[in-house]
Amino acid sequence: MELQEVLRSTGAVREFTPEAVPDETVWRLLDTARFAPSGGNRQGWRVVVVKDPAIRARLRELYLPAWYEYLAISSAGLVPWAPVTDRAAEAEAARGAPQVAVAAGRGEGGFAENLDKVPVLLVLLADFRALAAVDRDFERYTLVGGASIYPFAWSLLLAAREEGLGGVLTTMAVRAEPEVKELLGAGPELAVAGVMALGRPTRRATRLKRGAVESFATVDRADGPAFTATGP
């Protein structure tokens, strides 16, 4: 498949067939993804391949409260935990999470409720000692350190696509980071960057829909004219 087609059709996959993914395949994905760019080529990522059913079940338990909060806040028309938002409205909306959990418990559940059953479950950790976070001392929300971690996650998803697999990186478990780190035996120098689920998709990938270039690219200034293929 052409690279451009892969980039335009590799979306989040949350529904998998029961087919197991061999360790050899998972190793191969990690072996390819390790060539992702990172600051100073320090490769500050760590990956825990979660196999133990008890650890998987506990990880799911830690994941769900944040997921229900996310749904409750989203239903109020807010972007959950956005650095710039109406914090009072967010807190009010989050109080509806228990009701969301009760509603979810009435059915078979979706991806979140069955997280422990996905074929491959990985926890992505970031090693703070390896991140040149140039915005570390800013008063605003720090962002730059992720540039040395998340390209690895994207490379992992692309490598999975090459193998006929799909997956998704989700950050809900970060809301319970202390408990997740204790569960996995992660030291204080490590942070939870996300959880990745991989497997064989139940449906074929299709071309994704996204905002046009003109909706996010401008010329010379953030408030400048939209950048177009034909120029001004």
The DSSP string of 145-206 is GGGGTHHHHHHHHHHHHHTT-EEEEE-GGGGGHHHHHHHHT--TTEEEEEEEEEE-BSS---
- Asked if the model's pLDDT at residue 6 lies above 90, the reply is no
Copy the structure tokens of residue 60: 């799911």
Task: Flag whether 10 is in a domain.
Answer: yes
DSSP state of 48: E
Dist CA 113 CA 67 (whole Å): 9
- Asked if the model's pLDDT at residue 232 lies above 80, the reply is no
User: For residue range 29-84, what is the model confidence (pLDDT) as tens digits?
Assistant: 999 999 999 999 999 999 999 999 999 999 999 999 999 999 999 999 999 999 99
Number of domains in the chain: 1
Average pLDDT over residues 105-123: 93
Average pLDDT over residues 99-123: 93
Domain of 111, CATH number, reads 3.40.109.10
Average pLDDT over residues 1-30: 92
pLDDT of residue 181: 98
Q: Give percent of the chain above pLDDT 90.
A: 88
Average pLDDT over residues 117-129: 98
Half-sphere exposure of 201 (CA within 13 A, CB side): 19
Task: Flag whether 16 is in a domain.
Answer: yes
Residue 93 near residue 76, CB atoms below 8 Å: yes
Task: Flag whether 227 is in a domain.
Answer: no
For residue 57, how many other CB atoms are within 10 A of its CB? 13
Q: Where are the alpha helices (DSSP H) in the chain?
A: 3-9, 23-33, 53-75, 87-94, 97-104, 150-162, 177-184
Task: Flag whether 152 is in a domain.
Answer: yes
Average pLDDT over residues 126-144: 96
Task: Flag whether 157 is in a domain.
Answer: yes
Task: Flag whether 215 is in a domain.
Answer: no
Task: Flag whether 44 is in a domain.
Answer: yes
Domain that holds residue 143: 3-204
Dist CA 102 CA 12 (whole Å): 26
Task: Flag whether 55 is in a domain.
Answer: yes
Segment among 9-13, 14-18, 64-68, 188-192 with least mean pLDDT: 9-13
Radius of gyration of the chain measured on its C-alpha atoms: 19
pLDDT of residue 114: 96
- Asked if the model's pLDDT at residue 4 lies above 90, the reply is no
**3-state DSSP call for residue 36?**
coil
User: For residue range 155-186, what is the model confidence (pLDDT) as tens digits?
Assistant: 999 999 999 999 999 999 999 999 999 999 99
